[in-house]
Amino acid sequence: MPASLSRVQSQSRLRGIGGLTLAEFLRWFPWRVLVFAASGVAVLVFARVVWAAEENAKLAPLLYIFFSLWVAVLVLSTVATTQGAVSSEIEEGTAAWLIAKPIGRPAFVLSKFAGAIPAVLIGMVGIPGAIARVVLKRAADNGDTDFTAAQVMDVIANSSSRDEYMNLPSMSRYLGLLALIGTLMLLVVAVMILLGCVVRAQTAVLGLGIAAPVGLLLVGQLAPTAVAELTPGWVLTSIVDIISDNPAPVLAPILVTVVWIWVTLAGAVLLFSRREL
């Protein structure tokens, strides 16, 4: 009896997502993931060498150099890796080839994201983050200071805090930080998928992917001053009062990022479903 494939019974628009996700997963593992993990470790080594050369016993500068460089490398490498996730498939005609199979268009888009999740969380963030934790711990244990690194988030967000003595953050806070970086990178993946559904040319997707974080960085630098200038004082005071009385939960930034990921993916699915191939 010759072998044959089973008949497709499902009519779901998510049909085929398993096979497509597995294929995407295998595009990331092992080589891309190893490269990302290696680049994270390289950034750590670089930051450690610079920090040691300055004979600075404070942990904060090390954290600052490492996390700011690492996040920049992660964003750029995620953009570079995912710029063709959808756009190259459309441009080269392989999207049409796949969509002519019994799979739903949403399955095609979502598999691009689902296949990237383990690679981003484990390879890009998890492995370098774990190694960084060990190195930071050793730096903290061997230094002649008490390393008052209280808020790693502050270190990333506000360069002035590098002058402060800070404690090495607790494991739960550190994991929270890695989770936030991981979800931010997944948001970058989702945005690149969305751009691929909007813009046909792969190079344009790459350009927009690089321009977007740079633009956001500039806006981030200018926005606080602009908001402070443009917003009436009593409004700012009220907001501060509300925030101080109702501090946001630690997981809030992560949850907000996850919501943005879903909104972005929903937009990508909608656009790709309407697209002619």
Contacts with other proteins by CB under 8 A lie at 2-13, 15-16, 19-20, 22-23, 92-94, 96-104, 274, 276-277
Amino acid identity at 54: E
- Of residues 9 and 170, the one with the C-beta less far from other proteins: 9
Smaller CB separation from other proteins, 49 or 277: 277
Cis peptide upstream of residue 213 (ω within 30 degrees of 0)? no
Residue 20 or 191: the one with the smaller Cβ distance to other proteins is 20
Output the smallest distance, CB 274 to other proteins, in A. Answer: 8
Shortest separation between residue 91's beta carbon and other proteins, angstroms: 10
**Toward other proteins, which CB reaches closer, 10 or 203?**
10
Q: Which spans in 14-58 are helix H?
A: 17-28, 31-53
| DSSP label at residue 163 | G
CB of 107 to other proteins, least distance (A): 9
- Residue keyed to tokens 């602009």: 226
Q: For residue 226, give Cα distances in angstroms to 158, 160, 218, 240.
A: 17, 20, 12, 17
What is the nearest approach in angstroms of other proteins to the Cβ of residue 101?
Answer: 5
Residue 141: CB atoms within 10 A of its CB come to 9
Minimum CB separation of residue 20 from other proteins in Å reads 7
Q: Cα separation of 77 and 176, whole Å?
A: 22
Which is closer to other proteins, CB of 4 or CB of 221?
4
Contact between 20 and 107 (Cβ < 8 Å): yes
The amino acid present at 52, given as its one-letter code, is A
